[in-house]
Amino acid sequence: MTGPEQKRLLSEAYRHMPQGVAENYRYWGEERTIFIASAKGCELTDCDGKTYVDFRLGYGPIILGYRDARVDAAVIEQITQGGTLSGFSTPLDIKVVQQVKALCPNIEKMRFANSGTEAVMGAVRTARGFTKRKQIAIVEGAFHGLYDEMMWKSDIESWDPAGTEEPRVIPFGAGIPDQSRNLLTIIQLNNFEQLDRLFREKGDDLAAIVLEPIIGNAGSIAATPKWLRYLRDLCTQHGTMLIIDEVKTGFRAAPGGAQQIYGIHADLTTYAKAMGNGYPVAAFGGRGDVMDSVGAFKGGVVHGGTYTANLVALSAASATLNILASTDAWTTIDEAGAKIRDTLGRVFTAAGIQHCFAGPPAMFGIHFSEFVPMNYRDWRMTDSDLYTRFAWQLIEHGVMLEPDSREPWFICEAHQSVDLGWLEDVATKAMREAKS
């Protein structure tokens, strides 16, 4: 329940923005829509003065901590000395690409974008331009941004797992034309048969498969190394571009992202979120020959935009990547995540709740089930209602997270200071309340 000031703000906001919010997913209902006054480290303070330890981290971008002084100083220096943008190239363009390449050997050439959505659009267009093919495929349960073609999903919520019907494929909402689905196929994670069928039926016209090997929008459920290797090999055989969407996993799951964990390289990769510790920066890149199809020459793939490689974004990215590459920040994040996960595990065990964790410590999913889900349909079998009740109770007790087990717990460097005894205590209370 939010306090009186946030209720007042929401009633005022209704007059100015649809549902009173600047973005659909921020509306949590009349009693629960949160307005934040300030953020620092791993803490948020709402407009009624309540403080939360935050594991949502703005859906993942915060990798060091809110208002990280090192990153903010670099941005302030850039904008006061050099400006924000000029519509021309700068030396920082090259420097940031070099920094990304030093962490991610899958990148030979890269271009910038302003959001994960834009990075995915750029990668898909590049794949189509390079292969001269049209069809693309994605994995059930994944999310690749807010543009029409990617806004189709299997309706798992109203699907009957005990029945024989497949889930319906539906648009995320209104305004998405049916035609935008014509070139899209949705396959299930870790399903070998569906991969074989996809390549058999569409192989010659399949420009790209876009996937997150660790699904950041389905509780970090992950591809098996064997399945991902099989997919990689099929893509290579068929000349299909493997696009790994590292918008959530990039610079987070490991310094070199999910691709470092699997030891498998994509043809094209997208980055955003952790790349700039909360400043809006994104990128797509990969094989040099594929990326060289982008350009202002006849037949080249179009890429650009007024704010591309703006210097607020690039100075933040440069500082963030420098910290991740040259300090032990990432080890700290990994260790903090493992301790937080273990603390929660103890709480669930003590409460007699069957549970399992998915994904790496820096973005782990919690599933109330005996086995780690192998795909999105398995997720439907988990006790996600219990998770949601537990999450709402945690929020009441000052732990911020998304009340949906499809969103992982995000860890940043500043979480090293979390009082684990306090967390165990409030999680124990929250679980007791959720169960009752």
Ligand X SMILES: Cc1ncc(COP(=O)(O)O)c(C=O)c1O
List interacting residues with ligand X (CB under 6 A): 59, 115-117, 120, 143-145, 212, 216-217, 245, 247-248, 272
Strand order, beta sheet including 184-187: 109-113, 282-286, 268-271, 241-246, 206-211, 135-139, 184-187
Nearer to ligand X, 6 or 126 (CB): 126
Contact (CB, 8 A) for 52 and 2? no
Nearer to ligand X, 217 or 260 (CB): 217
The number of helix segments (H) and strand segments (E) in the chain equals 13, 18
Please report how close the Cβ of residue 210 comes to ligand X at its closest, in angstroms.
9
What is the DSSP secondary structure assignment for residue 180, as one 8-state letter?
A: G
Query: How many angstroms from the chain centroid is the CA of residue 347?
Result: 27
The DSSP H or E segment spanning 348 is helix 329-350
Q: Is 422 helix (H, G, I), strand (E, B) or coil?
A: helix
Nearer to ligand X, 163 or 175 (CB): 175
What backbone torsions phi and psi does residue 117 show, to the nearest 5 degrees?
-55, -50
Please report how close the Cβ of residue 118 comes to ligand X at its closest, in angstroms.
7
Please report how close the Cβ of residue 370 comes to ligand X at its closest, in angstroms.
27
Nearer to ligand X, 116 or 129 (CB): 116
Nearer to ligand X, 124 or 206 (CB): 124
What backbone torsions phi and psi does residue 34 show, to the nearest 5 degrees?
-95, 140
Query: How many angstroms from the chain centroid is the CA of residue 99?
Result: 21
Token pair for 332: 């700290």
Nearer to ligand X, 145 or 285 (CB): 145
Beta bridge partners of 112: 283
Neighbour-count burial of 338, counting CB atoms closer than 10 A to its CB (0-12 exposed, 13-18 middle, 19+ buried): middle
Nearer to ligand X, 107 or 281 (CB): 281
Please report how close the Cβ of residue 41 comes to ligand X at its closest, in angstroms.
22
Residue whose C-beta lies closest to ligand X? 116
Please report how close the Cβ of residue 334 comes to ligand X at its closest, in angstroms.
20
Q: What angle, rounded to 10 degrees, do the helices at 311-326 and 91-103 form?
A: 30
Please report how close the Cβ of residue 66 comes to ligand X at its closest, in angstroms.
18
Please report how close the Cβ of residue 314 comes to ligand X at its closest, in angstroms.
16
